[in-house]
A and B are shown apart, each in its own frame.
Chain A
Amino acid sequence: MKILVCISNVPDTTTKITFTENNTQFNSAGVQYIINPYDELALSKAIDICEGGKGTVSVLNVGEANTEPTIRKALAIGADDAIRVNAKPVNAYFVANQIANVAKTGGYDMILFGRESIDFNGSQVCAMVGELLDIPSISIVKKLTLDGSKAILEREIEGGKEVIETSLPFAASCSEGVAEPKIPNMRGIMSARTKPLTVVDSIDVPKVIEVINYETPAPRGSVKMIDSSTPEALIDALHNEAKVI
């Protein structure tokens, strides 16, 4: 079993988001970067599947050299080796093309992703890679079990779930429930330093989309406090003033 796990390097969830250069650049000053939390679930699942010599887990990141601490963290958690495509991940289409280019010759049985990155929230790369490689893609997976040459996955839908059977290889994006996140132990951290990390060049991809600028949400009006002894005043305000009930 060969599994490729694609990871993003994202701002820590506690980051206060600000921008510079006339709101055209994300302000990364003082920002801590982490493995995208959903990607960490995908990685944990891959390690579970391959545990006890049943396979190998490779992690792939499209990023510049500054993402290497995040890649080493993935190796410390338990990935066997890593690939970094040396390029700025400018958009999902670009990233998906880089991943597909690496994966097409890798002979992977499955390619796992997080359901979305917590910076751009696109939920795009998994399905794009699936399409580029002409393999199934299953998005927002809460459960994944292998059954011989097939896999059974549970996908989240509005108010329920869909159970899907797929042949290998496939691409899937993982959500909460698929695995418990793993914490690297001392042995993992030590061995991560010497595990192979290959850096490859990026390929050219046609430009289809670009960010013009960013906005922060408009500040809300000040809060209207209602005394706890008069909850009917709240209902009245929601009905007559806010008109939401």
Chain B
Amino acid sequence: MSVLVYVENTEGKFKKSTYEVISYAKEIANQMGTKLTAVSIGDVSDSVLSELGKYGAEKVLNVTNDKLKTFVNKAYASVIAEAAKSEGASIVVLSATFTGKGLAPRVAVKLQAGYAVGVTELPNISGGGFVVKKGAFSGKAFSNVSITSENKVLTLTPNAYKIVESGSNANVVPFESNIKESDFQAMVLDIVRATDKVSLPDAELVVSAGRGLKGPENWGMIEELADLLGAATACSKPVSDADWRPHSEHVGQTGIAVSPNLYIAIGISGAIQHLAGVSSSKVIVVINKDPEAPFFKVADYGIVGDAFEVVPKIIEAVKKFKENA
């Protein structure tokens, strides 16, 4: 029995969420008194892989098949399930990224495993059970679920678990897997990435704006503030519905749920659907000219004022802060 973690790379590199999921899986392995193995698929250098040991992966299975250089959902799921079987892993952990959430259900079916998606805390394994907390009702609640099957699959919400450095270098070993031709019915033709911006699901800091901004032409100051802070930009549903901003920026119950360290909401009143998408943010700042805006009720810091007056002042204050830092 052991724990297996899938380490997702982006163009040969690992993101923060990958180190989080290794740290999380390592702690589960510790609790169960067993070892953690990582599986990597694609083109990642041995030196980068061996560094995963720092976060607790003692062994890294390295799958470098040419056909798996780009993401192939079906084939990747086959490889992960096979790695779990070969390692005798009864617990498989992935990051709840877009890719992880597409893979994990397939892995769960292959392993006949109960699957808890988007967990936020370590499982409670006392008394031989396995109970874990996850989000429910689009951020409006949590549920504690008990996985009763022998095998278990988990995906960890990004930014929910702290990175822990514990070990030394990992032992990187090649892993060959028998992939079927039928695993390649769907293939990636192209990948388009906006490289100049912080991506919203990954972001630790988010600057978000709503209808209070009055029009898409006024987003310059929002982008400026976000750039200064190294934050991602986001928006409310009416804003993306009106095409002022792309749908990929829409935060809320029917958009993206975010869990950044800091969420700054400017000119957003705080409808229940929007609040659902931001409820797991660690710190919330609300700037609104209406002192009765419901968003203030869930905020940690609030400023009552017109966005067009307050935001430029905040930009100046951040600039000064950066100069003195």
Contacts and interface: CB of A to CB of B under 8 A. Distances in A.
A231 B314 contact: yes
Q: Name the prevailing secondary structure of the A interface residues.
A: mixed
A125 B253 CA distance: 19
B283 A238 contact: yes
A232 B148 contact: no
Contacts of B142: 214-217
Contacts of A14: 272-273
A127 B102 contact: yes
- Give the contact-size bracket for chain B: 35 or more
B106 to A, nearest CB: 4
Nearest to A213: B144
B185 interface: yes
B interface SS class? mixed
Contact of B145 (A131, A138, A209): A209
Given A127-B105, A208-B112, A214-B141, A245 B205 contact: yes
Interface residues of A, number: 81
B306 to A, nearest CB: 8
Given A17-B140, A231-B313, A232-B320, A244 B261 contact: yes
Interface in B88-138: 97-99, 101-106, 108-110, 112-118, 131, 133, 135-138
Contacts of A134: 182
Contacts of A208: 112-115, 147-149
Interface stretch (A60-68, A80-88, A116-124): A116-124
A130 B186 CA distance: 12
A146 interface: no
Interface string B191-207: 11111011111100100
Interface in B43-63: none
Interface in A95-154: 96, 118-128, 130-132, 134-140, 142, 152
Interface string A228-241: 10011011011100
Contacts of A217: 139-142, 279-280
Interface in B4-23: 10, 15
A216 B137 CA distance: 10
Contacts of B298: 220
A221 interface: yes
Interface stretch (A49-57, A160-168, A182-190): A160-168
A158 B97 contact: yes
Given A14-B272, A225-B302, A155 B114 contact: no
A29 interface: no
A223 B265 CA distance: 14
Interface stretch (B32-40, B69-77, B167-175, B213-221): B69-77
20 contacts: A13-B253, A17-B141, A19-B141, A118-B254, A119-B138, A124-B115, A126-B105, A127-B73, A131-B77, A136-B73, A137-B74, A159-B197, A160-B194, A208-B147, A209-B148, A213-B143, A214-B141, A216-B141, A217-B142, A232-B317
Interface of B: 10, 15, 71, 73-74, 77, 97-99, 101-106, 108-110, 112-118, 131, 133, 135-149, 182, 185-195, 197-202, 205, 229, 240, 247-248, 250, 253-255, 257, 261-262, 272-273, 279-280, 282-286, 296-305, 309-310, 313-314, 316-318, 320-321
